Amino acid sequence: MARASRLSLYVTIYLFLCLLANLTLVVMFLGGQQHRQHPQARPPPTPTWTPSSGQTLGCGELPVISNLTLIGSGWTKAVYKGWYGSSWVAVKTVHTSGHDMTECNAEVNVCYRRCAEKLMQEAQMLHKLSHNNVIKVFGKCMPKVEYSPGPPKSGVVAVVVELGRPVRVVEVLQMDYEARLQLAMDVGKILKLLAHSPLGPVLMKDFRREQFVIVDGSLKLSDVDDVVVGDPYCTSAKDCVIQDTTKDAILTSVPCDRGLCRGYNSLLNSIYASQHFMRLLIPYGGPAALEKASLHLVDQQVQGKLDSEHLHYAIEALVHNYSVGGYLTNNEKQEIQNFVVFHGSTVEGEDFPCLRTDGSNCIQSVSSPAEGASLCSQLPTCSAFVLMDQWVWTGRQIAVFKMGATKVMENKRHTLYVRRGQG
């Protein structure tokens, strides 16, 4: 009898729990229906957003960023790639398993807040350094939350910025000379900006390729969470020396002027740039006549003899020399006399491969028809070249070199040069 009573009690409790569970599901369903009918969150943004639209993104836009994929992480930040509106963007957030979180001795909420504030400070720094060679900040989110692990979503601290691709050594070395020369120009512009920023001279303590990205062929500064604003304080010239870390000796120094090491940040940034960029970008791959000048420029930079501003001017001079063909000798310029020009004409086919190629064609930019003639004369199998209606960013014109000129055709946008006695 007692056993039957206990069984009846268990059945009653079981039925009550089932009833309670069903009631809970109904309430949740009705609540969800009501929420969908009367949404409290702001509506999703229009899909027409572009980086140039000027719309500032905030916490409400984070849930709409789709296809989030982790593309990088460091001590403080994790960076995700995502799709918003009609463009890809990068989303920086706190790296919850990074060094700054895992090595923090305070409570997790305090540690997270410190990392979040560091992320916001970087966003503010990027905004103040606004420049064509600094990634754009599209928006940020700093909600009043204690701790938010995981990928960017509503309620997570995040900064939305322009998306670029990493600067990889192998990729840089595989670039043609003109692409690397453009990156060198960008390095000079960035260094000049840091030397004369609205905040004062800025030193990048952690100057590495990882602090930069490439966007549409241009180099852009993307990571400024470890910078120093203002030249160091000093009481004498001894406070203003720059050490050669490889030889444990003094490399160079700047004057102590009114309590500051004037030009210290500018010079040290230039030295760092020589180690991480310029050695890869300019010494090789261009005209042989420019190789010596390029190596000298890098050596001057490594030795601390070129601050950021002078390096910028030196790179500009190198680019100008390359653009106008200032390195050509008089004999090379005279080679044009050995060619007959046909305006409005081109050659169909008869291309040949060479070291600088685009597909199967021997294609190269030239500063002038004289340089095209000089290059063609140096190639035993070159009988002609065509100047096309295409120019590269330096202002040099694209030339296609030919093994023969038997299939001449009319093309008003091209100019044909045929070596005398050929064709």
Cα–Cα distance between 328 and 320 in angstroms, integer?
13
pLDDT of 30 over the 50 cut: no
Between 196 and 354, where is the model more confident? 196
pLDDT at 212: 94
Q: How confident is the model over 350-404, as pLDDT tens digits? A: 887 664 444 444 778 999 999 999 999 988 888 999 999 999 999 999 999 998 8
Rounded to 5°, angle at Cα 77 from 73 and 82 = 75
Beta partners for 249? 244
Domain co-membership, 176 together with 318: yes
The total of structural domains in the chain comes to 3
Last residue of a domain, one of 133, 163, 193: 163
Residues 394-414 as b or e (16 or more Cβ within 10 Å = b): bebbbbbbbbbbeeeeebeeb
What is the side-by-side strand order in the sheet with 408-419?
339-347, 408-419, 384-391, 397-402, 361-366, 357-358
- Of the candidates 161, 168, 166, 165, the one whose C-alpha atom is nearest the C-alpha of residue 93 is 161
In angstroms, the first-to-last Cα distance of the chain is 117
- Of the candidates 90, 330, 134, 335, the one whose C-alpha atom is nearest the C-alpha of residue 223 is 134
Give one DSSP letter per residue of 243-301, joined into a string.
EETTTTEEEEE--EETTEETTHHHHHHHHHHIIIIIHHHSSSSS-HHHHHHHHHHHHHH
The mean pLDDT value for 165-171 works out to 92
pLDDT of 323 over the 70 cut: yes
Percent share of the chain, pLDDT over 90:
49
Q: How confident is the model over 281-313, as pLDDT tens digits? A: 998 888 888 998 999 999 999 889 999 999 999
The mean pLDDT value for 222-239 works out to 91
Domain co-membership, 183 together with 266: yes
Between 209 and 150, where is the model more confident? 209
Cα–Cα distance between 119 and 225 in angstroms, integer?
7
pLDDT at 187: 95
Domain co-membership, 299 together with 358: no
Hey, is 97 helix, strand or coil?
coil
Q: How many CB atoms neighbour CB 3 within 10 A? A: 7
Q: How far is CA 136 from CA 102, 194, 339, in A?
A: 30, 16, 50
Domain co-membership, 98 together with 132: yes
The answer to whether residues 100 and 114 touch, using CB atoms and an 8 Å cutoff, is: yes
The mean pLDDT value for 73-85 works out to 88
Last residue of a domain, one of 132, 163, 194: 163
Domain co-membership, 355 together with 317: no
Hey, is 362 helix, strand or coil?
strand
CATH number of the CATH domain containing 72: 1.10.510.10
Last residue of a domain, one of 324, 349, 375: 324
Which residues span the domain enclosing 126? 59-163
